[in-house]
Structure formats: structure tokens, C-alpha cells
Amino acid sequence: MKLWCAALNRPWSWHWIAYPGVWVMVALPTIWYLVKVHRHGGVDRRSRAAFLAAMGIFWVSSDWPVGTLGAGYLDWVHMLQYLLYVLAIAPLLLLGTPEWMARQTLDRLHLLGAYRWLSRHLLVSGVIFNIVLLATHSPIGVDTLRSSQLGSFAMDMSWLASGIVLWAPIVNPIEELRTQSFALKMVYLFLSAGVVPIVPASALTFAHYPLYSTYELAPRVGRLTALEDQQLAGIVMKLGMVPVIWGAIGVMFFRWAAQERAR
């Protein structure tokens, strides 16, 4: 039985594969959230929608067929998964978590202190995000981790964790841990997610050879060659981040402007 998507080393087929590990990872947090919210007397509709959207996207991007294709067949799907984890699931989870739940959970896990420290040290958050980005997109990282279910799971979870680290200073459910300065937030997001990722994205786009043996030696899906698939992955990474990161920076800019006008 397969619990999590990893490279299969066999021809791609549209025959459905069950990954119970993914279902558990989707069902347990969702049930836990809904029960907690119910016991607490509810949560606003927007937060609930954000959390459920996060779990829905998590399911789609981790389960068959997206998860299977990304884990062992197509580099550009792997990249799409990364963007979904980091740019959609992570911020939606933060937006969907009410403050009382975040405090309670982090306190019980004895993580509140570390989380508070991290949320206030933007440079550290940016460095952590980019270290995970590089490690999980280095050839040795991809080829090692994607070859096993455990490795693949670790890769996906590290993406999610790095996404939460990235967004925590901006959309932190705990009000006092949010970075207050709009200018600082904009610069932080630009440098962390708008500049450095261009380096690996360019490496993928302009490399003369496929970098990952996982995707180079996988039976082809569709008509893309291994190198074209890699180039597409680079483009997905480069262009996929632009609307989200610049969109977020734009929103912050207009809020900042509105705040200044109101003074």
C-alpha cells in the first residue's frame, strides 16, 4: 500500500492510485479544526473558507494524479506543487486559523516561543524559506527525497513549513506577531520570495541538460522532452510567483496608502 506519492519508476497511467496517507493528512486536521471551532462557538465565515480552501488545495496537490505526476514524472508539476504549497496552502492556513486556536495549539506544542521569535526576525525567516527552497530543488535533494515515500513526504512538509515561515510575519493569526511596518513587509516579501527564487528558476530554464535524474529518466508523459519539461518548470517557478508575490506587495502598498490618507 502506498501512503504518499513518490517516484514509481514505471510508465505513467491514468489508472487511479489510492494514497491513504494523503487522506489522513487532509481529514485529521480538517475534522480537528471543525470540532475545535464548533466547541469554541464558531469562527467567521472568511476564516473557515480560507482553512477549507487550504485543505482542498493540499488534497488536490498531494493526491493522485497531481501528486503522482509531480513526484516522479514531470518537473513542471513538481514546481506547480511547490507553488501551491508555499503560495496558496501556507497563507490560507494562516488566514484560516483564528487567533485563539493558534495560541492554544502553539502553546500545547511548546512552540509559541520559537514561533514568536521567528515571526519577529524577518531575516531568519527569509533565510529559512530560501534554504528549504534550494535544498528541495537541488538535484541531490530532489533525486534523493522523491525516490521514497518518506522522503517525498518530508519534502512536501518542508515546503509547507517554509511557506508558513515565509508568510507568518505578514498574515500571522496572532495580531502582535505581525510585522507592523508596511514598508518592511513589502521589502521582506520582495527579497525573500521575489528575488532569490529567480536564481533556481533561471538555472532550470537555461540549463543545457536535465538536472534531475528522477524526471530525466522517467517514462515520458505527453510530448515534452525531459529538457523541455525542466524549462517549463523554470518558467512555472518564475512566472507563478510573480502574481502572488507582487499581488501581495500591491495589496500592502494600497493599504499603506489608505492608512496614510486616513491620518
Query: What residues numbered 128-167 form the site for other proteins, per CB under 8 A?
Result: 130, 134-135, 137-141
- Beta carbon of residue 51, minimum distance to other proteins (angstroms, whole number): 32
Residue range at the interface with other proteins (CB under 8 A); choices 23-31, 166-174, 197-205, 250-258: 197-205
Distance CA 253, CA 255 (A): 5
Q: Residue 103 or residue 220: which is nearer to other proteins going by CB? A: 220
Q: Any residues with CB less than 8 A from the CB of 57 and at least 6 apart, and which?
A: 84, 88, 89, 92
Q: Kindly state whether residue 203 participates in binding other proteins, applying the rule CB under 8 A.
A: yes
Beta carbons of 155 and 62 less than 8 angstroms apart: no
By the rule CB under 8 A, 200 interacts with other proteins: yes
Least Å distance, CB 254 to other proteins, is: 28
**Which contacts (CB < 8 Å, 24+ apart) does range 87-90 have?**
87/163, 87/240, 87/241, 87/244, 87/245, 88/54, 88/57, 88/244, 89/54, 89/57, 89/58, 89/61, 89/160, 89/163, 90/54, 90/160, 90/162, 90/163, 90/164, 90/166, 90/167
Q: Tell me how many residues contact other proteins (CB under 8 A).
A: 34
Q: Which of residues 211-240 bind other proteins (CB under 8 A)?
A: 211-213, 216-220, 225-227
Q: Which is nearer to other proteins, 17 or 140 (CB)?
A: 140
Q: Least CB distance from residue 263 to other proteins, whole Å?
A: 34
The residues binding other proteins (CB under 8 A) are 9-11, 126-127, 130, 134-135, 137-141, 191, 195-196, 199-200, 203, 207-213, 216-220, 225-227
